[in-house]
Amino acid sequence: MKSAGPNARVLTKSQAACLMVLRNPGFSQRRIAGAAKLDLKRTEAALRKLAELGLARRSDSKLWSATKTGETCDFETVADQRVKRGRPAGPDAQLQLDLADPSQRDTKHAQPGPSGRRLLDLLDRPKSACALARESGFSRERVGQLVFQLQAHGRIIFVDPDHPSWLIKRADDESAVLVRDETRVLSAVPAERAVDVSTLMVVKTLARCDIEGILDRLLEGGLVETVESPGGAPAFRLTVSGLEHPQYVPPKRLPPPSRLPVRSGRVRLVLQTIADAGALRIKEAKNLTKIPQTSINALMQYLKRKRLVAKAGLEFDAPYSLTEQRRAVLAEMTLRQAA
């Protein structure tokens, strides 16, 4: 943050903090305030000054970034100018300031006002800015100003710095919370049936690798569980803990069911017949299902290729039984037919 170069620019701590954030371009003013741990007014003033110095610029989409000069320039920092409020200082004001406890001059130890204390009292658990506005009676704009002030003073934490208003918690709150994308995936996993990763990609616009990583973390936390998939791929279902998680949001519509490897009624009839008997030879399956010999031969070979049936022994004429995967497929086909 400091440089002793001969051509170093002199910036206040607020301006330097904003400039360091801007060296990763594409930030909105609110995101800069969150990353630099400043309130909105101080952030706005710092950005305006950086723009005047030619170190920062704002695009047409209102996103800030550093200029070429701002990317490489050296600078040294000085303290921010104190904002004078109230009546003009008396002759003994400087003496009182010198004698004051240093902790009282540190912004991190500044006491919040009545409105800030009200928000802190409402943060008995992590909440969104929308929920705080609803419970406090403040406007969304006023809540936004207050939470950035509280964050600048180290009283609260933004769970997702890219979306500061999404979820907020007190700095001393040690409860584990999910980030925004984790909440999205958790709320997309149904409790009634299992879905695979491909199905979740249709519902939530996230990359496959991102969804797989999130599912691994949800598995570790006991919020989702893996179950046997009809298609053979790993499938996931919500646990009781996931269903009762405070950040779980019931979806307005369930994701489409996973695609089954087989779907015809004739296949289901053969599978159900073998399942009821435990194991059957091809001739026995033909007699029970009334399917012609040529068709039943082709059908059994098809089910073998799909790894849905397998011989129950090593003998040449050993009967066929269902594999574990096929039992899951048959159960899902029966469930969908009943629905």
pLDDT tens-place string over residues 198-209: 777 765 677 888
Query: Which band of pLDDT confidence, cut at 50, 70 and 90, is reported for residue 93?
Result: very low
pLDDT tens track for 104-135: 445 455 678 888 899 999 998 888 888 899 99
* Residue 308, pLDDT score: 76
Identify the DSSP state of 50. H
Percent of the chain with pLDDT over 90: 5
Residue 64 has pLDDT above 70, yes or no: yes
* Residue 103, pLDDT score: 40
- Domain-embedded: residue 4: no
- Domain-embedded: residue 92: no
Asked if residues 120 and 135 have their Cβ atoms less than 8 Å apart, the reply is no
Average of pLDDT values for 258-285?
A: 77
Same domain, residue pair 158 and 190: no
- Domain-embedded: residue 250: no
Same domain, residue pair 14 and 73: yes
Same domain, residue pair 190 and 229: yes
Residue 95 has pLDDT above 60, yes or no: no
Same domain, residue pair 20 and 61: yes
CATH number for 131: 1.10.10.10
Same domain, residue pair 231 and 284: no
Domain end call among 150, 170, 190 = 170
Asked if residues 31 and 74 have their Cβ atoms less than 8 Å apart, the reply is no
Residue 41 has pLDDT above 60, yes or no: yes
For the chain, give the mean pLDDT: 77
Q: Which residues pair with 311 in a beta bridge?
A: 320
Residue 22 has pLDDT above 80, yes or no: yes
Residue 8 has pLDDT above 50, yes or no: yes
- Domain-embedded: residue 215: yes
Same domain, residue pair 33 and 67: yes
pLDDT tens track for 212-229: 889 999 999 899 988 765
Asked if residues 235 and 242 have their Cβ atoms less than 8 Å apart, the reply is no
- Domain-embedded: residue 34: yes
Regarding predicted confidence, which is higher, 261 or 323? Answer: 323
- Domain-embedded: residue 208: yes
Residue 259 has pLDDT above 70, yes or no: no
Average of pLDDT values for 66-73?
A: 86
Range of the domain at 232: 180-243
Same domain, residue pair 192 and 219: yes
- Domain-embedded: residue 253: no
Regarding predicted confidence, which is higher, 91 or 296? Answer: 296
Tally of domains within the chain:
4
* Residue 218, pLDDT score: 92
- Domain-embedded: residue 53: yes
* Residue 96, pLDDT score: 40
